[in-house]
Copies of this chain bind each other. A is one copy, B any other.
Amino acid sequence: MSKKKIIIIGGGFGGIAAAKMFRGRKDVEVLLIDKRNHHVFQPLLYQVATSSLTPSDIAYPLRSTFKNTLNVRVIMGNVVNVDHDAKKVILKSGLEYPFDYLIIAAGARHSYFGNDEWGKYAFGLKTIKDALTIRERMLFSFERAERAENAEERNKHLTFVIVGGGPTGVEMAGAIAEIARQTMIKDFRQINPKDTRIILVEFAPRLLQVYPESLSERARQDLEKMGVTVWLNKAVTKIEKDLIHFGEESMQTANIIWAAGNQASPLIKVTTQRINRIGQAIVNPDFTILESDSVFCIGDCAEMTDANGVRVPGVAPAAAQAGRYVGKQILGELNGKLRVPFKYTDKGSMATIGKARAVAAVGPFKFTGFVAWLMWSLVHVWYLIDFRSKFFVMYSWMWNFLTQHRSVRLIVTLRDREMQ
C-alpha cells in the first residue's frame, strides 16, 4: 500500500495541531509548508510589540517542533495555487507537490476595508515582523519627542491611536499605557507623562463584543483608569501621514495601530468559489470546501458554523480544535470510517488589560482584576510550546512585574529612510 500524502499549508495553531495527529503513522506522510520558518504564539504577539518579550520567547522553528517526527517534512515556501484536478499545490518558486488530502490553515492578514493606502501609516499585528515594526516605530517616536523643538511636534509623537476594540486592540492599548505613562517616562528629560495620549477607537457601542456586556464595561473602566481614552461608536474615515480622520474631526498622531479588520489569506480565493466578504472559505460541516472533499480549510481562513449552529470564533484554541478534528477524520477515513460533523467546544475567552488587570469569561462564570490576570498568565504560559520559552517568559514577566522594567527596547530593523 502506498503512503497517503497529506499537505498542510500554514504552521499556525491549526496546522500544527493537524500535523501532530499524524505522528508515527506509517501509512501517511505529511508535508508542512509555511512562508515563515517558525510558529508564532499569536496571543502574546502584542507583548513583543510593546517590548515585554523578545521574538524568540514566543516563536519557535517549525522544523524543531517536528525534528523527531520522521513522517512530517517541513519546507519554507509560498503556496500560490491549488490544482484540484491534478491534486497538487504550486509554490511561487514553481515547485509542485502532489497530495491526497490538503489542509489549508493559512490564516489571515489585517485589512483596511478596501483602503490599502492606510497601511503605510496604520500598522497591523499578525507576524513577528509586524510586532517589531510597531515596537521600533513606537520607541523611535519617543526619541523624536525627546528631541522635538516645539510642543506640537512633541504631542504628535506622544499620541497613540489604536483602532479596533477587540482583544488585540484592548491589550495593545493597556500595554502602551503602561509603557508610555510609567516605564519610558523615567528615561527621558523632555517628556512629561501628562503629554502622552492613548486613544482606543471602536466603531461598535462597546469593547470586546463577543464577551458578556459586564466584562466589556469593566475593560473600558480599567483602561480609563490606566489613562486610556476610549472612544465608542466612532468610525475612522481616512488615514494620512501623521493624521487620522473621524468624519469632520481629525487628530495629529505619528502612531496608529490597526486592530480593526482581517482578510483571509489570498490563497483561499484561488482555491474555492464559496467565500465570504473577508475572503474566508465558507466550509462544509467537516471543514471541506465546496469543490473537493479532500481539501479542508481551517482556522482564520475559514467560516464555519458547527453542528450545534455555533459560529466558530477566530481564536487559537478553535483553530487547534479544528486541526485535531480534521486529522482525526482523515485517519478515520483511511480505516474505512465515515466522517462526523464538527462540534466546537468553547473553553472561554480572556483578555489582559494591564498589570494585574484582565477580564475572562468561562462558561457562565466571569472573572475580572487580579484573578482574571493570574488565570490569563497561567493559561498562556502553559500553552507556550517548549520548556525554554516557558521559563524565559515567566522570568521576563516576573522581572517586569517587579521592576517595571521593559527588557527589550532596541531599535534595530527600521530602515534609515523610516528614521529621518
Question: In the assembly, what is the distance between CA of A399 and CA of B187, in Å?
Answer: 33
Task: Give the shortest distance, in Å, between A47 (CB) and chain B (any CB).
Answer: 13
Contact A63 B187 (CB under 8 A): yes
Contact A64 B187 (CB under 8 A): yes
Contact B410 A37 (CB under 8 A): yes
* Set of chain B residues within 8 Å of A412, measured between Cβ atoms: 36, 38, 55, 59, 127-129, 132
Closest B residue by C-beta to A73 = B189
Question: In the assembly, what is the distance between CA of A103 and CA of B420, in Å?
Answer: 24
- Contact segment of A112-120, A138-146, A174-182, A347-355: A138-146
Contact B420 A407 (CB under 8 A): no
Closest B residue by C-beta to A58 = B410
Question: In the assembly, what is the distance between CA of A61 and CA of B143, in Å?
Answer: 11
Contact B56 A410 (CB under 8 A): yes
* Set of chain B residues within 8 Å of A146, measured between Cβ atoms: 75
Chain A residues engaging chain B, CB cutoff 8 angstroms: 36-38, 54-56, 59, 61, 63-64, 67, 70, 73, 75-77, 92-93, 95, 127-129, 132, 139-140, 143, 146-147, 149, 186-189, 388, 392, 399, 405, 407-413, 419-420
Task: Give the shortest distance, in Å, between A142 (CB) and chain B (any CB).
Answer: 9
Question: In the assembly, what is the distance between CA of A23 and CA of B108, in Å?
Answer: 51
Number of copies: 2
Contact A411 B54 (CB under 8 A): no
* Set of chain B residues within 8 Å of A38, measured between Cβ atoms: 409-412
* Set of chain B residues within 8 Å of A189, measured between Cβ atoms: 70, 73
* Set of chain B residues within 8 Å of A127, measured between Cβ atoms: 412
Contact A93 B420 (CB under 8 A): yes
Question: In the assembly, what is the distance between CA of A54 and CA of B59, in Å?
Answer: 12
Task: Give the shortest distance, in Å, between A131 (CB) and chain B (any CB).
Answer: 9
Question: In the assembly, what is the distance between CA of A139 and CA of B189, in Å?
Answer: 41
Contact B37 A411 (CB under 8 A): yes
Question: In the assembly, what is the distance between CA of A194 and CA of B408, in Å?
Answer: 38
* Set of chain B residues within 8 Å of A147, measured between Cβ atoms: 75-77, 95
Task: Give the shortest distance, in Å, between A198 (CB) and chain B (any CB).
Answer: 21
Closest B residue by C-beta to A183 = B64
* Set of chain B residues within 8 Å of A388, measured between Cβ atoms: 399, 405, 407
Question: In the assembly, what is the distance between CA of A29 and CA of B96, in Å?
Answer: 65
- Which 3 A-B pairs rank lowest in CB-CB distance, beginning with the nearest? A63-B187, A76-B143, A56-B408
Task: Give the shortest distance, in Å, between A94 (CB) and chain B (any CB).
Answer: 10
* Set of chain B residues within 8 Å of A128, measured between Cβ atoms: 410, 412
Task: Give the shortest distance, in Å, between A395 (CB) and chain B (any CB).
Answer: 8
Task: Give the shortest distance, in Å, between A403 (CB) and chain B (any CB).
Answer: 9
7 pairs of residues in contact across A and B, judged by CB atoms under 8 Å: A37-B411, A55-B410, A67-B187, A75-B143, A75-B147, A92-B420, A95-B149
Knowing that A61-B187, A61-B410, A67-B186 touch, tell me 15 more A-B residue pairs with CB under 8 angstroms: A37-B409, A38-B409, A54-B55, A55-B410, A55-B412, A56-B408, A63-B187, A63-B188, A64-B409, A70-B189, A92-B420, A95-B147, A127-B412, A132-B412, A413-B413
Question: In the assembly, what is the distance between CA of A342 and CA of B12, in Å?
Answer: 59
Closest B residue by C-beta to A59 = B410
- A61-B132 contact, Cβ under 8 Å, with A146-B75, A147-B75, A388-B399: no
Question: In the assembly, what is the distance between CA of A132 and CA of B412, in Å?
Answer: 9
Task: Give the shortest distance, in Å, between A76 (CB) and chain B (any CB).
Answer: 4
Closest B residue by C-beta to A129 = B412
Contact B36 A411 (CB under 8 A): yes
* Set of chain B residues within 8 Å of A411, measured between Cβ atoms: 36-38, 76
Question: In the assembly, what is the distance between CA of A73 and CA of B188, in Å?
Answer: 8
* Set of chain B residues within 8 Å of A187, measured between Cβ atoms: 61, 63-64, 67
Question: In the assembly, what is the distance between CA of A128 and CA of B189, in Å?
Answer: 26
* Set of chain B residues within 8 Å of A410, measured between Cβ atoms: 37-38, 55-56, 59, 61, 128
Task: Give the shortest distance, in Å, between A20 (CB) and chain B (any CB).
Answer: 16
Question: In the assembly, what is the distance between CA of A306 and CA of B410, in Å?
Answer: 36
